[in-house]
Amino acid sequence: MAAALLEVEGVARAFAQGDQRIPVLENVSLTLAPGERLTITGRSGSGKSTLLNLLAGLDHPDAGRIIWRVAGRDWNLVGLDETTRTAFRRRHLGFVFQFFNLVPTLTALENVALLAELNGLDDPFGRARWRLARLGLTGREAAFPETLSGGEQQRVAIARALVHEPAVVLADEPTGNLDRETGDAVFAELLEVLAEEDRALVLVTHDRELAAGGDAELALGRSP
Ligand SMILES: Nc1ncnc2c1ncn2[C@@H]1O[C@H](COP(=O)(O)OP(=O)(O)OP(=O)(O)O)[C@@H](O)[C@H]1O
Ligand SMILES: [Mg+2]
């Protein structure tokens, strides 16, 4: 087996509710190899988004370790300072959200180019144009998000998630706001691009059909 891209060990997270602390994640462990697809499932409130936030270093676990092995080094998220964690996230992770989250005042092209620019990569607009073309959006570069269909917006979001060539894409219900047919088409395109480029995917979904076919599944909230 290839060296793990991600190792999570014994992660716990609880949130305060009144004067109680409600455990959401307890003793979560997982590994992900380069290019693999991990699916996180579980009922609403079981902690799927909480776990994704921890993997992204957007939130801190109460216990446990989260280590990404990217670009020839170990990124131990729990030990890193905020600045380094932010730099790691920006450079090595891609995100796709349920509600697309495009910047409304930027065109499709500008939305995609932004992360390439922020990361100081050469030719950010060339990269963005190529990414949009791969997702069938040639001709829509100058469109603003509100003038695009849901499926088109999510394709722009996928182009944006990949423009800086991250090792992994983290996706939280990426088709949750699209009709079945559009969602399936967009998801298939995402998988195709990831497979061609050997990038990993961590997918949060309620959808049994999308959950099937990954390399591993983590079902949260099963214990009493
Ligand atoms: N910042 C926070 N402060 C307090 N409670 C929180 C916080 N974030 C999450 N929670 C609680 O943790 C639990 C898990 O939330 P989370 O958003 O991870 O669920 P989920 O599995 O993603 O659900 P859904 O499928 O509805 O998106 C919920 O009970 C939620 O209220
Ligand atoms: Mg959620």
For residue 224, pLDDT over 50 is answered with no
Q: Which atom of ligand 1 is nearest to the CA of 206?
A: 25
Kindly indicate the confidence band of residue 221, based on its pLDDT and cuts at 50, 70 and 90: confident
CB neighbourhood size of 218 (10 A):
18
pLDDT of residue 2: 60
Nearest ligand to the CA atom of 207: 1
What tens digit of pLDDT does each residue of 70-94 get?
A: 999 999 999 999 999 999 999 999 9
What digits encode the pLDDT tens for the residues 89-123? 999 999 999 999 999 999 999 999 999 999 999 99
Tell me if 128 sits within 8 A of 112, measured CB to CB: yes
CATH class of 6-219: alpha beta
Measured CA distances, 25 to 13, 59, 138, 184, 219 (Å): 5, 13, 43, 30, 11
Nearest CA to ligand 1 atom 17: 49
**Residues within 6 Å of ligand 1 by CB:** 15, 24, 42, 44-50
CA of 110 from ligand 2 middle (Å) equals: 28
For a ligand 1 pocket test, name from 15, 28, 97, 222 the mutation site with the most ligand atoms within 8 angstroms of its C-beta: 15
What is d(CA 197, CA 219) in angstroms, rounded to the nearest whole number? 27
